[in-house]
Amino acid sequence: MGMFSFLWSWLPGWTGLPWLSLGSSPVDSLLQGLIGACGIAVLCNLMRVHLFIKCLSDPDMWSTERDRLRLPGRLVETVHLCVLMVILSLVGARVGALVVLEFSLRAVSSLLSANQGSHHSQLFLLCQYSVGCALTTSLSFLQEGAPHGTLNLLLSAGLACLLMWHTSSLVKHVCTMYELHSKQRYCGVCITLLTSWHAIPSLLSTSLKITFAVAGMASIYLINKDFLSTSEAVRFWTPLTICYTLLVIYMQEEQQQKPSEQMAFQTVFVRMGGLLILMLTVGKWLDVMHIIFSLLGEVWCLLRAGAMMEVCRKQDSFELDYSRRSRSRGQLNYSLENRRDATNQ
């Protein structure tokens, strides 16, 4: 009888459509998913531009990696965008908020760790799905109770699509014409990138900090509004805090090792597995479904950005080795100068 009551308590979440978990209509959910997918595309396009120009700094060494960074066909990009839009529209605000909070803690831990510089560029690609959840969660919070919510989302989706189209055009232009235009210096876009491409990571970092700051506040509100009492909130936040603490410790240990593609996927399964166990304990059946959708979204984003991740790993490894060699040379020169001074005295 107790087991029947337990299963029956989950049935209301199961019998409802996934759209209903967002507290909005299917149209609003699709628009939010489209905005989140466009945000991921803008992030990837700007990172692709940055990595491509960085490879051109030594074309003989990075020629193979440069060719891998070229934008695929329009059909592939459209399919990728549609899949992300569907996944983000199906994931509920509750699970989206959990993904946002988990990545925020993970990012802070990574940036505060000793080796933050070696994986900073990879962090932009690892946060793709979290950026989509951050945008959908913020929209769910900001549009709650709005009298013209659908119209607002429609205008936001139009702006997001426009930004995505411009960044996609920028990628195509850079991959085909930048090498020529940067030498002849008659293209305004390429001349601007020639002097400011180093600032792209700083721009992305500032934008992501603002995005996750807003999404973090929205996530806490969206999670807490479902609780009827303080004791119920404590029963949820206590295991969540323990789960996130263990995940942060696990991520810090992973950062001590040399990153690889297999490690990236392994980290995704560990993180989503932890959230899945947590939702099985204190969540609803619909939350479990959304965790599975989130796992698919994370894996889809990593598969799509595989080439960029590999280029980031090689460039980070090269820069780390170069800085170590420079540091050792500096120490050697310093010791030689001290010996010369001692000899002269």
Query: What torsion do the CA atoms of 115, 67, 46, 82 make, to the nearest 10 degrees?
Result: -110
Cα end-to-end span (Å), the chain: 92
Calculate mean pLDDT across residues 240-265: 70
Q: What is the pLDDT of residue 325?
A: 57
**Which residues does 279 contact at the CB level (< 8 Å), separation at least 6?**
95, 287, 288, 291
pTM value is 0.81
- For residue 70, pLDDT over 90 is answered with no
Q: What is the pLDDT of residues 257-302, one digit of tens each?
A: 555 667 777 778 878 887 888 777 776 778 888 888 998 999 898 8
- Its sign, for the CA torsion 280, 285, 287, 290, is positive
- 315 has a pLDDT exceeding 80: no
How does DSSP classify residue 258? P
In the predicted model, is pLDDT for residue 13 greater than 70? Answer: no
Note the maximum CA span of the chain: 92
Please give the pLDDT value at position 129. 92
DSSP assignment of 2-17 equals HHHHHHHHHHHHHHS-
Is 330's pLDDT higher than 60?
A: no
Inter-axis angle of helices 26-56 and 128-142, nearest 10: 140
**Tokens 């399964």 -> residue:** 269
Task: For residue 240, give the amino acid letter.
Answer: L
Q: Phi-psi region for residue 20, left (φ > 0), alpha (ψ -120 to 50) or beta?
A: alpha
User: Band of the pLDDT at 117, cuts 50, 70, 90?
Assistant: very low
What's the token pair of residue 12?
Answer: 């209301």
Helices 285-304, 74-90: axis angle to 10 degrees equals 160
Q: Is the pLDDT of residue 122 over 70?
A: yes
Rounded mean pLDDT, 69-95: 85
| φ and ψ of 134, to 5 deg | -65, -40
- Of 273 and 12, which is predicted with more confidence? 273
For residues 179 and 156, give the distance between their C-alpha atoms in angstroms, rounded to a whole number. Answer: 34
Residue 101 near residue 244, CB atoms below 8 Å = yes
Q: What is the dihedral of CA 223, 225, 228, 231, to 10 degrees?
A: 40
